Amino acid sequence: MAAQEGPKRKGPAERREEESRAAIEKAKAGAALTRAKEEEKARLKAEEALAEARGALAAAQEKVEQERLARVNAEHTRAEVETALAETRKAIGVPTENMKTPPRAPGEEGEQRISFIVRLTVDERGQPRRTEVEQAQSGKKETFPALDLQRLAAFIEMCTRPPVVPEMTVPAVPSPPLIPGPLGPTTGLTVSDVHLFRMGFLGVRTLLLKPGEGFVVQVRCRLHGPEARSLTVQSSSFDTRVYAREVTTSALALLTSHSENLVADVLEYRLQELVPGLPPGLYRLVTVVTLQGPTKIAAHYDGPIVQIAEVQPSVKAAPLLYGPLPQ
């Protein structure tokens, strides 16, 4: 028997072929690893771009909502000014036409029409910043900060007041000696302003609230006059009551009542109370402050007007879609 043959040795050509196949496989593996790294980088970059797009969309929606609320506040403030001006003119008997005096018709010789122009400047939130009122015929003007309805009514009343005709002088009669008694009109009490704030936002005034939304009402009052400081050392206190009057029905409801003692040499006081929410409607706040003690003084403040309504968003948020990025 012939001897068995041993393992067949590979020739140079076969070894070169195996080395070539190994190099190809290694190159393929390297290319696959590089491609995987590039795909991972592309995925991370796409996720960052998607996150930035979501943030930009959210910021744009928030800005649109803020602008819408500012427009609502501005329209509400303008309506409040027009209503207050019409009520003031009606109270003092001034016609509501905002135009130059037209020619008188026959039979109207005894009438006189006086026109006023009111310009209101609001900030980006729709809150009043400055009010300017002008009498159209005489050109008299007055400008004051915010929306002060009392000063507006006082200006209109001053312009419509008939001229004072001096009377004949009468020889003076010696007056009787002064007898000490209660304080006269030299001492007064004034409610300077009343503002509304949302809970948690005490730095931003508001005139628009949701139904049932509790809010904070802030009242400022001040004693004035030569004898005002003497009141603060007496056993005196002041009571503050804030009412809400529904504009259409005139129904009156008490929102809050507070009593506080006077402090020696302190003339200005501020009340800040949390009050419950109101049902939907348009309300005018009425504030009454009464000084209790040996000397009784009362003051009131009419306004502001607050609207209670649901705020419907005017822009719907676009849905965010999740899924693989397009190739």
Task: Supply the pLDDT for residue 91.
Answer: 61
Amino acid occupying residue 84: A
Mean pLDDT along residues 72-99: 67
Please give the average per-residue pLDDT across 99-105, as a whole number.
Answer: 47
End-to-end CA distance of the chain: 70
**Rounded Cα gap, residues 139 and 148, in angstroms:** 20
Write the pLDDT tens digit of every residue in 157-183: 787 776 554 444 444 545 544 444 444
pLDDT, residue 7, reads 58
User: Is the pLDDT at 103 greater than 70, yes or no?
Assistant: no
Conformational region of residue 323, where left means phi above 0, alpha means psi within -120 to 50, and beta covers everything else: left
190-200 average pLDDT score: 85
% of the chain exceeding 90 in pLDDT: 3
User: Tell me, what's the pLDDT at 291?
Assistant: 81
How far is Cα 244 from Cα 250, in angstroms, rounded to an integer?
Answer: 9
> What pLDDT, on the 0 to 100 scale, is given for residue 8?
62
Q: Which has more confidence, 84 or 52?
A: 52
The pLDDT, as a whole number, for residue 10 is 67
Of residues 222 and 232, which shows the higher confidence score?
222
> What is the band of 59 on the pLDDT scale with cuts at 50, 70, 90?
confident
| Residue 298 in this model has a pLDDT that exceeds 70 | yes
Distance CA 51, CA 164 (A): 74
Of the candidate ranges 105-109, 234-238, 279-283, the one whose mean pLDDT is the lowest: 105-109
**CB of 281 within 8 A of CB of 250?**
no
Predicted confidence (pLDDT) at residue 235 exceeds the cutoff of 60: yes
The pLDDT value given to residue 252: 87
Residue 243: which pLDDT band, with cuts at 50, 70 and 90?
Answer: very high
pLDDT of residue 164: 52
The pair phi, psi for residue 122, each rounded to 5°, is -120, 160
Confidence of residue 206 (pLDDT cuts 50, 70, 90): confident
- Please state the rounded mean pLDDT for residues 140-153: 83
Average pLDDT, the chain: 76
Write the CB contacts of 83 (distance below 8 Å, at least 6 apart in sequence): 305
Say if residue 5's pLDDT is above 70. Answer: no
What is the arithmetic mean of pLDDT over 300-314?
76
Helix, strand or coil for residue 118? strand
Whole-number percent of the chain with pLDDT over 70: 76
Domains of the chain: 24-100+114-161 (no CATH), 188-308 (2.60.40.10)
